[in-house]
Amino acid sequence: MNVLDPAGPDAGRLAELSWILFIGGGAIFALVLAITFFAMQGSDRSRKRLSGNWLVWTGGIAFPVAVLTGLLVYGLLLMGAESRPAEPDLRVHVEGRQWWWRVSYEEPDGSRLESANEIRIPLGREVEFVLTSPDVIHSFWVPSLGGKLDMIPGRTNRLRLTADRPGVYRGQCAEYCGGPHALMALEVIAMPAGEFDAWRAQASSPVENAPARGGELFLATGCGSCHTVRGTSAAGTIGPDLSRLGERRQLAAARLPMSAENIARFITHGQDIKPGNLMPEFRFLTADETAAIASYLAELK
């Protein structure tokens, strides 16, 4: 994650402002050090010159007022530079939860496409993230795409972002939300608009579940009381939607790379992997049963 490696215009403006602050702050720091040096070690003449009230008036009052006023005006102009269209091209609802992200894409027909912890967006199109939280304050932050915005219970915050460079951009919850806050990450995949449209059309089609032992075990173990797999009786909404789990790059809010082995580890030893997370460990399952459920989930694409 790098604020200084922008992948879109919003992050670009922040990077520009950051560089100005870094360089300007560094120059002022060097100037203060130099004045301090001459005030302590300089010749009698220079020490005498630096002891007058003029230095307080200019360096302590006039200079900061001028610099901070200039920065304020520049910052306001920079942040307000882009006129936004009234309607975004795509609206994605993101709900911060302890300790994962519920993601739901607004479909053109008004329905919702549910997912979790991974957000795909089309390049060059304006995306509005609708940010909410049902529990405590979280903060949505994908540094390569833009600034952070808090997710506050009882409020709806909106963040418009555009990506203009394809890639996978990691984000992180930026507000301490208890327990495994540090392990609450996400990924944004910016892809060409045509590919995104094709993916979305495919992703919203019914999930095909081959009747497999893992799928039967998944339902029999009660996983469906917290998780949804579209097209099955699993319709829980407490935990992440698993309908296309195998398609995602990462597991457990970008904690582990996606693989059947890691899903199996998370089912039985999730508290070691992400201490404090709200999913109980299912250690009563045999290794064979765990592997069957994990491979079923890894094949949901």
Residue ranges binding ligand CUA (CB under 6 A) = 96, 99, 138, 173, 175-177, 181, 184
Least distance (Å) between residue 266 CB and ligand CUA = 19
228, β-bridge pairs? 235
DSSP-derived 3-state class of residue 73:
helix
- 29 versus 176: smaller Cβ distance to ligand CUA: 176
Shortest Å distance, C-beta 155 to ligand CUA: 15
- Which residue lies nearer to ligand CUA by CB, 99 or 196? 99
Nearest CB to ligand CUA, comparing residues 173 and 297: 173
Between 148 and 200, name the residue whose CB sits nearer to ligand CUA.
148
Nearer to ligand CUA, 136 or 207 (CB): 136
Cβ neighbors of 220 (< 8 A, separation 6 or more) are none
215, 209 Cβ separation under 8 angstroms: yes
Q: How far is the CB of 97 from ligand CUA (least distance, A)?
A: 8
CA-closest candidate to residue 171, choices 222, 129, 219, 231: 129
Q: Minimum distance between the CB of residue 176 and ligand CUA, rounded to whole angstroms?
A: 6
Minimum CB distance to ligand CUA, residue 174 (Å) = 7
Are the C-beta atoms of residues 268 and 280 closer than 8 Å to each other? no
Size (the chain), residues: 301
Strand spans (E) along 32-134: 90-97, 100-106, 112-116, 118-122, 127-132
